[in-house]
């Protein structure tokens, strides 16, 4: 029997296990036996990847940066969703606030998502720095630490940040572009009252990470099965909809610069 590939994933909700059950079955049916190990946070998952307890990690962007740092670049991002590419985050304000540019945020209170959220804290910090606003000096940060350890996978922190803006407790809040789109569509955010005042550079989100020591034949088998998923195939569509993609793309690492810089600016890994 072929040795199963052991894949790690972080669960913030038991319902997410259903998606991984379907994906695991798909790989099994395509001759690539796979075991999925769930973790309660990304730190444990990265630790397990480094120790060789898992072969592939479905990593958040921050977990990728952490792995790269700990492995001294001896790791690879082998695949990602089309929707992981070229994301951005926004900082939004009330239209009536008179805040019209990033510079106007000086001296204001900004609501961020969880401590470890790339999209709702670390990357916006980097963007604000580019506009001359230093963390801890030029604005007051109010953090919404929902499910720390899950790297902002859970939208709760971003939603709480927006609610603080809505309640007038803060002057601005940070959120991922996909959440802006979803919440303006479902009425959570009224675009007549709120506006985007700043947008980050594009960045990439999750990826499948392996260490350089991962067997190339097993990696090839995994990727062949993964890239064979076809959104036009009704049998694959449900699985891809659940995972939020239309196409698997090769992994790339060019989209993690803003996050790496954001982490460096606040010495994230040293102070964690």
Q: Could you list the residues that contact other proteins (CB under 8 A)?
A: 11, 14-15, 17-18, 37-41, 44-45, 48
Helical H segments across 131-256, by residue range: 156-166, 177-185, 216-227, 234-243
DSSP strands (E only) in the chain:
5-10, 34-39, 56-59, 75-81, 89-94, 109-112, 140-143, 172-176, 194-199, 207-211, 248-250
Least separation in angstroms between CB 38 and other proteins: 4
Least separation in angstroms between CB 44 and other proteins: 5
Least separation in angstroms between CB 37 and other proteins: 6
Query: Among residues 11 and 226, whose Cβ is nearest to other proteins?
Result: 11
Query: Among residues 21 and 212, whose Cβ is nearest to other proteins?
Result: 21
Closest residue by Cα to residue 248 from 83, 56, 65, 63:
83
Burial class (CB in 10 A: 0-12, 13-18, 19+), 10: buried
Query: Among residues 15 and 96, whose Cβ is nearest to other proteins?
Result: 15
Least separation in angstroms between CB 12 and other proteins: 9
Least separation in angstroms between CB 157 and other proteins: 19
CA distance 145 to 158: 9
Query: Among residues 38 and 231, whose Cβ is nearest to other proteins?
Result: 38
Query: Among residues 224 and 241, whose Cβ is nearest to other proteins?
Result: 241
Strands 75-81 and 109-112: unpaired
């Amino acid at each position: 029997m072929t040795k199963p590939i052991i894949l790690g994933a972080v669960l913030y909700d038991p319902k997410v296990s259903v998606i991984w059950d379907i994906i695991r079955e798909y790989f099994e049916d395509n001759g690539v036996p796979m075991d999925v190990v769930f973790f309660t946070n990304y730190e444990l998952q990265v630790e397990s990847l480094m120790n060789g307890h898992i072969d592939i990690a479905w990593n958040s962007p921050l977990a990728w940066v952490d792995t790269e740092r700990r492995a001294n670049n001896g790791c690879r991002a082998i695949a990602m969703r089309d929707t992981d590419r070229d994301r951005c985050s926004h900082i939004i304000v009330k239209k009536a606030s008179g805040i019209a540019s990033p510079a106007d945020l000086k001296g204001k209170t900004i609501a961020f998502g969880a401590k470890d959220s790339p999209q709702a804290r670390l990357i916006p910090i980097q963007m604000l720095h580019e506009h001359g606003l230093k963390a801890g000096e030029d604005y007051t940060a109010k953090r919404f630490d929902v499910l720390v350890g899950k790297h902002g996978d859970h939208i709760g922190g971003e939603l709480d940040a927006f609610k603080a803006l809505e309640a007038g407790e803060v002057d601005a809040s940070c959120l991922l572009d996909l959440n802006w789109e979803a919440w303006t569509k479902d009425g959570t955010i009224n675009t007549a009252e709120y506006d985007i005042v700043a947008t980050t550079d594009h960045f990439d989100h999750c990826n499948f990470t392996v260490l350089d020591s991962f067997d190339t034949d097993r990696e090839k088998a995994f990727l062949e099965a993964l890239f064979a998923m076809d959104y036009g195939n009704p049998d694959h569509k449900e699985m891809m909809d659940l995972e939020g993609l239309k196409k698997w793309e090769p992994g790339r690492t060019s989209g993690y610069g803003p996050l790496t810089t954001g982490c460096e600016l606040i010495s994230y890994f040293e102070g964690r």
